[in-house]
Structure 1
Amino acid sequence: MQQRSIASAAISVIHGAGLEGTRLRDVARAAHVTTGAVTHYFDGKEAVLEAALEEVVRRTLQRLGRGRHKPPKDVETFVAQACAHLPVDEASQMEWRVWLAFWGKAIADDRLRAIHRRYYEAFVEHVAHVLRALKPNTSSREALLTADAVIATLDGVGVRAILEPEHWPSKRQRQTATALLVPLLREFEGAKKV
């Protein structure tokens, strides 16, 4: 439990200072522990940073999992659930900033790129599962292609919202995502099995 508390503290520090500006002592202070406690659980700054990324993904998958038992019955419900993953509040903005900070670092780091790929595979599989509930007779290929498009839409809106927060309030994020997702999902609903 202490490790998750430290990872959560690291998220808030990364949010304010970025990956390069994050220091172990700042993470310790935010977690209300000593630097020694941080190094007891983690083998240095890189391990703490990766734990923060893992915590962001854990939270995202947990939110995604909440809807597993009641998949949406219609496009509007699906879109509303999808829009809940945009950076529309302070907590989700912090998580998005951490996620995007690692995007930048992963460009030149094969190991981080592999980690991102694994996380995206989990996201795509979950969205495809939900899409198959929306349209039970769909093929896996069609569900996976549509899941990729849904995630690309959310990524695009989310990136703009993080980079230009003054121009992308939550209402605009939801409106833009809805404008892109509804036609995509209507086509998905009406498409014949591939």
Structure 2
Amino acid sequence: MPKQVDVVEQRRTIAAAAVSVIGAAGIDGTRLRDVAAAANVTTGAVTHYFDGKDAVLEAALEEVVRRVLERPETDSPADVRACIDISASYLPLTAESLGEWRVWLAFWARAMTDERLRAVHRRYYTAIVERIADRVSTLRTTPPTRAEAIACADAVLAAVDGVGCRTVLEPEVWPAERQRQALSMLLLPMLTAFAAGNQEF
């Protein structure tokens, strides 16, 4: 009897391999046969599950976002320092997360000129912002409005993006500790003001 193939699992295996390959070679240097080799499947298997290179890129980005959204958060008491530590976990602190960031930035470049990919990008950003908004809302004893929490989350994510982009471009001069320090300098005054209920945080 032929072996049953779990389609979802196979797609995720290929997507994870694509994250690794794109992270190392960039999107322009990535070939479907390299993704197939990294996934330990044939090139035909890749093209069976994905309709071309852009579809593989999109799946790789989906895998990156899935990892971010499934990353467990600490159950420590809600305070500014804990929120900064959680925000820092989004940064490219390890070789693996640096590769994930390279996929994210490769997708940015494609999305700038592709409306469909831009819509995908907006959807993923919305999911990440919503998660951060949930976290920063816990900083206040009197919960903020959702609009306030989203505005704060947007600012947190902008700071993460800034430090992350610098690190991807200059990883040799942005080790994990420097990334954390820079993010803390950006977020500490802002989140302290937000936690105090300052509307002009």
Q: TM-score range by the shorter chain?
A: over 0.9
What does the per-residue CA deviation read over 1:98-151, in whole Å, with 9 as the maximum and x for residues that have no partner?
A: 000111111111111111111111111111111112224211121111100000
Alignment of 1:184 onto 2:190: yes
Change (3 A) 1:124 1:187: same
Question: Which of 147, 168, 171 pairs up with 1:165?
Answer: 171
Contact 1:124 1:151 in 2 (8 A): yes
Structure 2 CA distance for aligned equivalents of residues 5 and 24 of structure 1: 14
- Native 8 Å contact 1:86 1:157 kept in 2: yes
Ranges in structure 2 where 5+ consecutive residues have no aligned partner: 1-8
On the 8 A contact 2:160/2:183 being kept in 1, the answer is yes
| Cα distance between partner residues in 1 of 2:10 and 2:157 | 32
> What does residue 10 of structure 1 align with?
18
Q: What is the RMSD of the two structures over their aligned residues, measured on CA atoms? A: 1.6
Paired-residue identity, %: 56
How far apart in 2 are the matches of 1:15 and 1:183?
33
Q: How far, CA to CA, are the matches of 1:50 and 1:110 in structure 2? A: 13
Check conservation: 1:71, 1:133, Cα contact below 8 A.
Answer: no
Query: Paired residue for 1:53?
Result: 61
What is the TM-score with the length of structure 2 in the denominator?
A: 0.90
Query: Are residue 125 (structure 1) and residue 133 (structure 2) matched?
Result: no
Tell me the distance in 2 between the aligned counterparts of 1:160 and 1:72: 31
Task: Decide whether the 8 Å contact of 1:11 with 1:98 is kept in 2.
Answer: yes
Q: SS of the residue aligned with 1:51?
A: helix
Tell me the SS of whatever aligns to 2:90: coil
Provide, for residues 68-103 of structure 1, a one-character-per-residue CA deviation record: whole Å limited to 9, x for no partner.
Answer: x83641111111111111001011001000000111
Amino acid at match of 1:176: A
Q: Give the 3 Å change call, closer, same or farther, for CA 114–98 of structure 1 in structure 2.
A: same
Distance 1:103 1:79 in 2: 25
Contact kept in structure 1, 2:57 and 2:107, CA below 8 Å: no
Gaps of 5+ in 1: none
Amino acid paired to 1:70: D
Contact 1:11 1:95 in 2 (8 A): yes
* CA–CA separation in structure 2 for the residues paired with 1:72 and 1:145: 22
Amino acid at match of 2:61: L
Query: 2-side partners of 1:80 and 1:116: how far apart?
Result: 25
Letter in 2 for 1:53: L
Q: Is 1:116 paired with 2:121?
A: yes
Structure 1 counterpart of 2:91, from 83, 86, 93: 86
Q: Please list every run of at least 4 consecutive aligned residues from structure 1 whose deviation after the TM superposition is greater than 4 angstroms.
A: none
